[in-house]
Amino acid sequence: MAESSTAESFNAADYLVGRRLAAGDGDRVAVRAPSRTLTYAELDTEIGRVAAGLAALGVQPEQRVVLCMVDEVELFAGILATMRLGAVAVPVSTMLRGPELAVLVADSRTRLLLCSATFADTARVAVPEALARGGDVAEVVVTGDDPTGFGTGVGVRTWDEMLAAGEALGGAPPAYDTWDESQALWLYTSGTTGKPKAAMHRHADIRTVCETYGRQVLGIRPDDLCLSVAKLFFAYGIGNSMFFPLSVGAAAVLEPSRPSPALLAELVSRHGVTMFFGTPSSYGPLLAAGEAGQIDPGAFATVRRGVSAGEALPARMVNGMRERFGVEVLDGIGSTEALHIYLSNRPGEVAPGTSGVPVPGYDVEIRGSDGRPVPDGETGTLYVRGDSICTGYWCRTATNRLVFEGEWLRTGDTYVRNPDGTYTCLGRTDDVLKVGGIWVTPAEVEERLVAHPSVGEVVVVAVPDADGLDLPVACVVPREGHTVDEPALVAWCREGLASFKRPRHVLAIDDVPRTATGKVQRFRLRELAAERLAASGTPAPAQGGDVELEAVR
């Protein structure tokens, strides 16, 4: 209690918006959305209106507010208004189905759900199911004009009605006296297991990522304009579109729809975007569209900085974006638990195929199975520590004890430190394959396959043979206009990799299954591969020959 009573007041919403007004940036544009463009002064007014509406509904400090909303002004202001009140903003994936949303609504113990009209039907399923699970949701606010169908026992109103209730209350309440340690933001992460858990972030965590990655690596400036493929409910997306631009008086472009390569190129060109934040799953289609002549090579001429995160960006995409569009992409790795990127390439020092070096303010270690750091060149599990690491997962004691070790976060990623000091991701620790007694990382096989001109995306998984031994199987999404040629792709791998690393089977798939936060669901591909191989009666190759020879070496 003594520590809390003497803590210095700090509110992330004031840091991001109020501080900009005090600096004289009120007339600068803060956000451009399809519905409207807001200056910092107008955004501050909108935040005040939403905060008043939330207060009128009885939202109290430290209560959770779940937001299932499209990337528009309402969500942007809703997150900031919740934090201004001292409550906890919980933006959740708009890709969730009703039963999945119900789990999060019940788990967070929220009393209030805010949702866009686009996802009202999802919420209509989620709310009764959340209550059946013992949830506490008592109020729903939906944009649009149809607040019906949410069941009995729940108060429902439109967004405009909530704002009107706030005006009747007397307008915007003052910012709550939060401090560094106060809870500000919960972000649900499911990893590859599909089991959601809320990473709990403090107000101070937001300032930390702005002053480390945002200022010292990204080098964001007041004249920048940001566009992010990742939406605001992602840790990556909320940093790209909210934290970093607002921290310096810059602006962000919001896009509610799913971005296609053509739409991304059009948005960049129309707005003059200078900071473009993508992912491997967006850079691949962009390059394919560029190669097909569907995107003007000059469409990204205003972009001075490209960024990638979420998964390791193949070297061919790093080189391709530079050669075709003139964009240098800084690939890095971050996590929901760390709030944003903690390993990153640096401007002018990009090492394609690597995650770069630690972001200032973060320490990383690669540890072996005995928990001790390994020498350069040896693989192990990546650990990270820094001031933005979350305080833990909500109500997940057993998982907390496995993932958080004192100041350190066990990331679950397999890494190696290279002679030049950069770090290379070799995949998830749990996804590493053991073929013929030799460890094989999916990432190195995927890197080889994705360099083939017929391959759009690829995920390599392990499927056991009749003896229960792992065999590498490549699940390939072909590029447009191409087909999957299994013998050709296996031969391609033999040419560039040790023979034992080659995939024993290559399967064509339509798309890569991902979690609500965009991570590859390898377990689903393992199941799919096993089913298809069993149905085809394809015999499993013997584990002898070149595998045994490599193992001896």
pLDDT at 541: 43
Q: Model pTM?
A: 0.83
Query: Residue 532: in which H helix or E strand, if any?
Result: helix 522-536
Location of each CATH 3.40.50.980 domain in the chain: 2-197
Q: For residue 431, what pLDDT is reported?
A: 72
Q: How far apart are CA 220 and CA 248, in angstroms?
A: 7
Tell me if 473 sits within 8 A of 433, measured CB to CB: no
- Which structure tokens are listed for 197? 């858990």
Single-letter residue type at 343? L
> Do 164 and 493 touch, CB atoms closer than 8 A?
no
Q: pLDDT value at position 512?
A: 93
**CB-based burial label for 217 (10 Å; 0-12, 13-18, 19+):** buried
The shares of helix, strand and coil residues in the chain, as percent rounded to the nearest 5, are 35, 25, 40
Q: How far apart are CA 229 and CA 216, in angstroms?
A: 22
CA angle (545, 546, 552) in 5-degree steps: 100
**Which CATH fold would you assign to the domain 2-197?**
Rossmann fold (3.40.50)
For the domain bounded by 259-428, which CATH number is listed? 3.40.50.12780
Per the structure block, which two tokens stand in for 368? 């072996």
The residues that bridge with 475 in the sheet, in sequence order, are 459, 507
Say if domain 432-552 classifies as CATH 3.40.50.150. Answer: no
Res 517: pLDDT:
60
The Cα–Cα gap between 178 and 187 comes to: 19
What value, to the nearest 5°, has the Cα angle with vertex 441 and ends 439 and 447?
Answer: 145
pLDDT at residue 439, as a whole number: 61
465, 446 contact by CB (below 8 A) = no
Residue whose structure tokens are 């451009």: 32
Give pLDDT, residue 535: 86
Residue type, 281: S
What value, to the nearest 5°, has the Cα angle with vertex 382 and ends 380 and 385? 150
User: How many Å apart are CA 309 and CA 331, to the nearest integer?
Assistant: 6
Q: In a 3-state reduction of DSSP, which class is residue 387?
A: coil
pLDDT at 376: 95
Return all residues near 265 (Cβ < 8 A) that are at least 6 apart: 286, 289, 295, 296, 299, 300
Report d(CA 369, CA 347) in Å as an integer: 34
Q: Which among 462, 476, 484, 449 has a CA at the least distance from the CA of 540? A: 462
What does the pLDDT read at residue 542?
36
User: Which residue ranges does the chain devote to CATH 3.30.300.30?
Assistant: 432-552
Phi, psi of 252 (to 5 degrees): -130, 150
Using CB atoms within 10 A of its CB, is residue 327 exposed (0-12), middle (13-18) or buried (19+)? buried
What is the rounded distance in angstroms from the CA atom of residue 350 to the CA atom of residue 233? Answer: 28
Per-residue pLDDT of the chain (553 residues; tens, 9 = 90+): 334 445 689 999 999 999 999 999 999 999 999 999 999 999 999 999 999 999 999 999 999 999 999 999 999 999 999 999 999 999 998 988 898 899 999 999 999 999 999 999 999 999 999 999 999 999 999 999 988 888 878 999 999 999 999 999 888 888 899 999 999 999 998 653 447 899 999 999 999 999 999 999 999 999 999 999 999 999 999 999 999 999 999 999 999 998 899 999 999 999 999 999 998 878 988 999 999 999 999 999 999 999 999 878 889 899 999 999 999 999 999 999 999 999 999 999 999 999 999 999 999 999 998 999 999 999 999 999 999 999 999 999 999 999 999 999 999 888 999 999 999 988 777 776 766 555 677 887 898 899 999 999 999 998 877 655 678 999 999 999 999 999 999 999 988 776 778 899 999 999 999 876 677 888 889 899 999 988 887 644 433 333 222 222 2
Are 282 and 259 in contact, with CB atoms under 8 Å apart?
Answer: yes
What are residue 486's phi and psi, to 5 degrees? -60, -50
Q: Is 443 in a helix, a strand, or coil? A: helix
pLDDT at 159: 98
Residues of the chain with CATH 3.40.50.12780: 259-428
